A = this chain, B = another copy of it.
Amino acid sequence: MSESDIFSRARRDVSFPDWMASVQAQVEAALARSLPPAEAIPGRLHQAMRYTSLNGGKRVRPLLAFAAGELTAATPQRLEVVASAIELIHSYSLVHDDLPSMDNDVLRRGRPTCHVEYDEATALLVGDSLQSLAFELLAREDFGDPTGQLEMVRLLARAGGSCGMAGGQSIDLESVGRNLNQPELELMHALKTGALIRAAVMLGALCGTALSVRQTSSLDRFAKRAGLLFQVVDDILDCTASTATLGKTAGKDAAAEKPTYVSLMGLERAREFAADLRKQALDSLTIFGERSQRLVELTDFIAQRKF
Looking at the assembled complex, report how far the CB atom of A200 sits from the nearest CB atom of chain B, in whole angstroms.
16
Q: Of residues 31 to 52 in A, which have CB atoms within 8 Å of B's CB atoms?
A: 36, 40-42, 44-46, 49
Looking at the assembled complex, report how far the CB atom of A95 sits from the nearest CB atom of chain B, in whole angstroms.
11
Stretch at the interface among A55-63, A143-151, A202-210: A143-151
Roughly how many angstroms separate A127 CA and B169 CA in the complex, as a whole number? 13
A268 proximal to B (CB < 8 A): no
Chain B residues closer than 8 Å to A187, beta-carbon distance: 41
Q: Of residues 125 to 160 in A, which have CB atoms within 8 Å of B's CB atoms?
A: 125, 127-129, 131-133, 135-136, 138-141, 146-147, 149-151, 153-154, 156-158, 160
Instruction: Assess A125 versus B42: contact at CB under 8 Å? Given A132-B131, A157-B139.
Output: no
Determine whether the beta carbon of A124 is less than 8 Å from that of B141: no
Q: Mark A250-274, 1 if CB is under 8 A from B, else 0.
A: 0000000000000000000000000
Stretch at the interface among A96-104, A229-237, A239-247, A297-305: A96-104
Roughly how many angstroms separate A169 CA and B162 CA in the complex, as a whole number? 24
Determine whether the beta carbon of A128 is less than 8 Å from that of B96: yes
Can you name the residue of chain B whose Cβ is closest to the Cβ of A136? B157
Instruction: Assess A153 versus B167: contact at CB under 8 Å? Given A96-B128, A128-B127, A147-B146.
Output: no
Chain B residues closer than 8 Å to A156, beta-carbon distance: 135
A122 proximal to B (CB < 8 A): yes
A112 proximal to B (CB < 8 A): no
Can you name the residue of chain B whose Cβ is closest to the Cβ of A46? B162
Q: Give the dominant DSSP class at A's interface.
A: helix
Stretch at the interface among A19-27, A170-178, A284-292: A170-178
Determine whether the beta carbon of B158 is less than 8 Å from that of A125: no
A110 proximal to B (CB < 8 A): no
Determine whether the beta carbon of A121 is less than 8 Å from that of B139: no
- How many positions in chain A have a CB within 8 Å of any CB in the partner chain? 55
Can you name the residue of chain B whose Cβ is closest to the Cβ of A93? B128
Determine whether the beta carbon of A132 is less than 8 Å from that of B149: no
Roughly how many angstroms separate A164 CA and B170 CA in the complex, as a whole number? 28
Determine whether the beta carbon of A45 is less than 8 Å from that of B166: yes
Chain B residues closer than 8 Å to A170, beta-carbon distance: 42, 44-45, 122, 125
Determine whether the beta carbon of A136 is less than 8 Å from that of B121: no
Looking at the assembled complex, report how far the CB atom of A135 sits from the nearest CB atom of chain B, in whole angstroms.
5
Determine whether the beta carbon of B166 is less than 8 Å from that of A129: yes
Roughly how many angstroms separate A101 CA and B122 CA in the complex, as a whole number? 9
Can you name the residue of chain B whose Cβ is closest to the Cβ of A96? B124
Roughly how many angstroms separate A72 CA and B140 CA in the complex, as a whole number? 25
Looking at the assembled complex, report how far the CB atom of A136 sits from the nearest CB atom of chain B, in whole angstroms.
4
The 4 closest A-B pairs by CB, nearest first: A132-B161, A101-B120, A136-B157, A129-B162
